[in-house]
Structures are given as C-alpha cells and as structure tokens.
A and B are shown apart, each in its own frame.
Chain A
Amino acid sequence: MEYLLIQVLNGVQLGLLMFLLAAGLTLTFGIMDLVNLAHGSLYMMGAYIAWTFVTWTDSFVLGALLALPATFALGMAVEAVVMRRLYARDHLDQVLATFGLILFFNELVRVLWGPAGKSIAVPPFLSRTIEILPGVPYPAYRFALIVVGAVVAILLAWLVARTRLGMLIRAGASNRRMIAALGVNIELLFSLVFGLGAVFAGLAGLMAAPISSVKIGMGDDILILAFVIIVIGGIGSIKGAFVAAMLVGQIDIVGRAFLPDLLKTVMPPASASAAAPAISQVLVYILMAGVLVWRPTGLFGQRA
C-alpha cells in the first residue's frame, strides 16, 4: 500500500515535470501553429545554464533563479532569429528548420560544456526524506518538485484564465488573424508566449537535473513524450496537456514499478525486467494511438 502511494506520487511528479514541458509546446502549437522540435533543446539548455550558474554561485536556488531569465532571453533570441520566419510556413518546413536547431544546440553544448555529462547535486536542505504519512518516508527533493510543479501549473491556469495576457493567448489560439485585425501587437504576443514556453522548458530541465543527469540529447526523447502529451490532450489546450501529462506520468511510473512483477508470472525474471520498461513506454504510445483513433483531435482539442 505504501509502495503504491510512493509510486503514484512519483507518477504525479513525473507528470508535473512533463506538464511544464508540454505547456510551452502546446501554447506555441496552438497559437502560432508552430511544430517546434527544438523545444527539447530549450529543456537541455535550461539544465546546462543552471549547471553553470549553480557551480558559479554554489547555491542551487540562486543558480536556478539566474538560469530562468537566461533561458527566457535565449527563447526570445531563438524566436527572433528563426521561429518568427516559420509561423506562416507549412509544418514540413517547421519540422526541417527546428530539426536543424536540435543538431545545432546538441553540438553547441558539446563545444561549450564538453561531451561528458554534468550533474547537479540536490540542494542540502532538500537532501533528506520527509514523512508524507506517518511512517512513510519520501525524498524531500521529489516532494519539492511536486510542490513547485503544482504551483506553476496553478499560476499558468490563472495566467491563461484570468489575466489580459491570458485572454489574448486564448483569443490567439482560436483566431490569430482576428486578434491581429483588432489591433493587438501579435508579434510581441508571439515573442512573449515563446519566451514563456522556453522558461517552462528550462525550469523543467533544471528541476529534472538533480534526479537524472545533465547530458547532450537529454531533451530529445523527452520531447517526443511531450508531443505525445499535447496530442493526447488536444493541441492548444492547457487543460488537455495537464490531464494527459498526469495520465502519461502514471502509466510510465506505475508500469515501471508493477509490470516486472506482473510479467514474472508469465516469463523468466531476467527477460521480464528487461521487457518491462519497454512495455511501459509502449503503453504510452498505445494510449495515444487509441485516443487519436477515438478522437482524431485529442481529448480536449477543437473539432475540425
């Protein structure tokens, strides 16, 4: 029972992390109609920039606080140099250009930080366990991730639902040309949204750094998972991204935690533990295929 609780919490933590990544992606997708494969590169850059600042200031929190505006600036720069020219293009051109950006950023990291991976230590005040229920210890850092993730998710929901910027974002998602015609500075809006997405991606990257590792290409595989999430949720829908991220987080973690035991009842232990992670990944993709076959525009997507 306690084991189950801890695994569910791990799923929530992964889900929130994925939501941070997916939120920026679904915003740029929904509003600018942009397929941004390089979103994972921003996640990676966030982690590397954080590593530099954390090493420099010798403090995780300070380093993270410095890394976020830096990631925002990087996002705005990428938008100004490349993305801006891609909004009006078809998806194929966008795939090609942002694929090129992935290669560029992976190689840039190799040049600037070297080929070896980096690690960021868990900050000392969080490197202990806390009791979430009496007698059930849980790593404090992972718990902090859940808290930060939840706070950011609530902030984002507030931003989109209650503020003027959020209103423009929603209006942009449903009809871009109309809000431009109404006199909204759409270029500035696009830049801001892209920068916002970059910050969320960078935040996800630097928060994931202490529990995984900072390495080249770290954003590439997780990017695909983020795409799966926004497609399941329905492109442009923040709510959909949240629901789908939670679903995927649970499937991934619970699959990893319980599939090996389940599989051992039908196959030898060695091949069961080798097959389990692969099968839990496969489950995620089966979920996506199932959702798309059932609802071709995702759970919360606009009907075509």
Chain B
Amino acid sequence: MKPGTIVAAALLIILAALPLLTQAFDQRYLLSVGTRIVIWSIAAVSLNMILGYGGLVSFGHAAFFGIGGYAVGILSAEGIQSGWVQWPVALGASILWAALVGALSLRTRGVYFIMITLAFAQLVYYLASGLAGYGGDDGLNISRSRFSGLIDLRDKATFYWLCFALLCATLWFCGRLANSRFGYVLRGAKSNELRMMALGFPVFRYRLVACIIAGAFGGLAGILLANEGAYVSPAMMSWVKSGDLIVIVVLGGIGTLFGPLYGAIAFFALEEMLKPLLDLVHKGWGEYWQIVFGPLLVLVALYARGGMASLLKARG
C-alpha cells in the first residue's frame, strides 16, 4: 500500500473511534472539536471538487453553511422540527442557490470569478442579517432536527457518528466522481478549457453540475453545523469563513481526495495546539495565537506547494 493510503486509513479509523477515545480519556471537549472538524471536512471536500479538480476558485462557499443552516433554523423557528422536512428543504435550497450562482458566475474567469462568488455570498450574508424576524445580526437559537425514534441528534456521540458517516459518504462519492469520466472532463477543462471545448465537451454544463454538487454537500455541512451548535447566525457565512475553507483546502492539498480532511484537522489542531504552546512561552500569549498562525499560512503559500497531501506522496 502507498503511504498516503495507510495514513488516510489510519486517520479514518481514529476518527471513527473518536467518541470512544474521548470518553476513555475523559476529554469531552475534544469530541466537539472533532465534530466541527468532521463537518468542516465535508464542506472542504465539496469545495475541493470545484476548486481543486475544476480550478474554479470559489470565494463564497461559506454561503452554503448559511443556506443549509438557515433553512433548518427558519423551519425550526416556524415550528417544523422534523428532519424529514428540514433536511430535504435545506438541500433543495442549496442546490437552487448553487445552480443560480453557478449559471451567472461561470460566465466570468479568473479573478472575476473569485469576486463574483464572493459577492453572491455577501448577498446572502446581508440578507440573513436583515432578517429581523429571525434574529437579524444576533442569529437564531434553534432546536435540533428530530428524526422521530430513528436517531437522537441531542446525543453528542450519536451526532458525531452521523457526521462521520456523512463525511465517509461524501469522500466516497467525490472520490468516485473525481475518477469518473465526469471528473476527467472537469480536470481537462482546468488545464485547457479551449481544447476541451474543441473536443466537443460542453465545459460550461460540466462545471455547472460540479458547482451544484459542491453546493449540495456544502448545504449538508450547513445543516450539520446548525445542529451542532443548535444555533444559526450570519457569522457562519461571513467571507472570513469562506477564506478559512480555502485555507483548509490549500493547506491539505488541492485536487487530492483526502487533502481537505488533512487540512481541516491541521487547521483546527493548530488552533488548539498553538494556544497552550504560546502560553508555555509566556503566560497570556496564547490568545495571540493568530500572530503565529498568519505567517504560517504565508509560509505554506510560499513554500509548501501541493499541501500536506504532497508530503505523503513525496515519501512514497
């Protein structure tokens, strides 16, 4: 087996056993960190679909956190608690939004694409903060989705395993897709759009479908995020969150299946590790962890081309 495969398998086994581990070592807090890592991984894997394989740098992926989250939140506020209604509605809304944004944004290229996707995300952000009836800027406390009798999302371990199962499904689906004919067309369009068009592939349509798939998984992550905190707010789709998602994907290694997962783990683990580390150097410095994290990102951008996934590949 390749070293990349071994690491990925080991990581998935550890993640699968995380609730048991945190219980054994009595570190309940780590389970909620783990849950967030898994949810963000789902979004990052889906962003990697368009950003990594498609070469389309979307700076508005966090909008799907918001759309998925707010669909659950608004339905919950209106008294509809059933997940059987909430989740399909949230996914449908994400798909519709992805289709609309994709159809309009894909007319542009390069930097203009980065900026138009950002603009659409800001649009949703300001719409949500203008929803005075649903908390406006302050956000909205919700109760978790109910799947009557089948599964109880209030139980932390159960919820974690659900998220983990969905992450595995996402990885499986995106992995299959990336290595299908569809995935190869998408990659071909990334390296030479004109040539793909000359070969007769409707590049625009392929890209639009990729955007819609990515949007659906992004919305799924939004649903989970809303359920994790039992809370939705415009802050979950601020442009900084879209930036965080790009950081995660690039950190892990763009255009690789497990890269986004490595990236999400590194991103959250660095935060958890830098704080106590800086506190060790000097008491109270821990809260300034970003002063180290920021330059670290600069170094990654400058010197670690290909991200963490490429480190594994280089060894093998």
CB contact between A97 and one of B51, B290, B301 (< 8 Å): that residue: B301
Tally A-B pairs: CB < 8 A: 142
| Cross-interface CB contact of B297 among A97, A220, A296, cutoff 8 Å | A97
- The stretch of B25-33, B35-43, B113-121, B180-188 in contact with A is B113-121
Whether a CB of chain A sits under 8 angstroms from the CB of B296 is yes
Is there a chain B Cβ closer than 8 Å to A289's Cβ?
A: yes
Whether B220 is near chain A, meaning CB under 8 Å from some CB there, is no
Are A274 and B126 interface neighbours, CB within 8 A? no
Verify B288–A296 contact, CB threshold 8 A: no
A-contact bits for B274-304, CB 8 A (1 contact / 0 none) = 0000000000000011110111111011100
Contacts of B133 in A (CB 8 A): 271
CB neighbours (8 Å) of A285 from chain B are 119-120, 122-123, 126
B109 at the binding interface (Cβ < 8 Å)? yes
Size bracket, chain B contacts: 35 or more
CB-CB under 8 A for A108 and B119, given A96-B300, A296-B108: no
* Nearest-Cβ distance from residue A100 to partner chain B, whole angstroms: 3
Q: B115 touching A101 by the CB < 8 A rule? A: no
User: Is A158 among interface residues, defined by CB-CB distance under 8 A?
Assistant: no
A29-B111 in contact (CB<8A): yes
Closest to B51 in A: A92
- Whether the pair A104, B301 counts as a contact (CB closer than 8 A) is no
B247 interface hit (Cβ, 8 Å): yes
B243 beta carbon closer than 8 Å to chain A? yes
CA distance A99 to B111 in the complex (A): 15
Give min CB distance, B137 to chain A, whole Å. 9
Closest 7 CB pairs of A and B: A278-B130, A100-B297, A104-B294, A103-B294, A97-B301, A274-B132, A107-B291
Write the residues of chain A forming the contact surface with B, with a CB cutoff of 8 angstroms: 29, 35, 37, 82, 85-86, 89, 91-97, 99-108, 110-111, 220, 224, 227-228, 231, 235, 270-271, 274-275, 277-279, 281-282, 285-286, 288-289, 292-293, 296-298, 304
- Contacts A/B (CB < 8 Å), 19 sampled: A29-B111, A91-B111, A91-B114, A96-B247, A96-B301, A99-B297, A102-B294, A103-B291, A105-B294, A111-B288, A224-B118, A227-B118, A231-B112, A279-B130, A282-B127, A286-B123, A292-B104, A296-B108, A298-B112
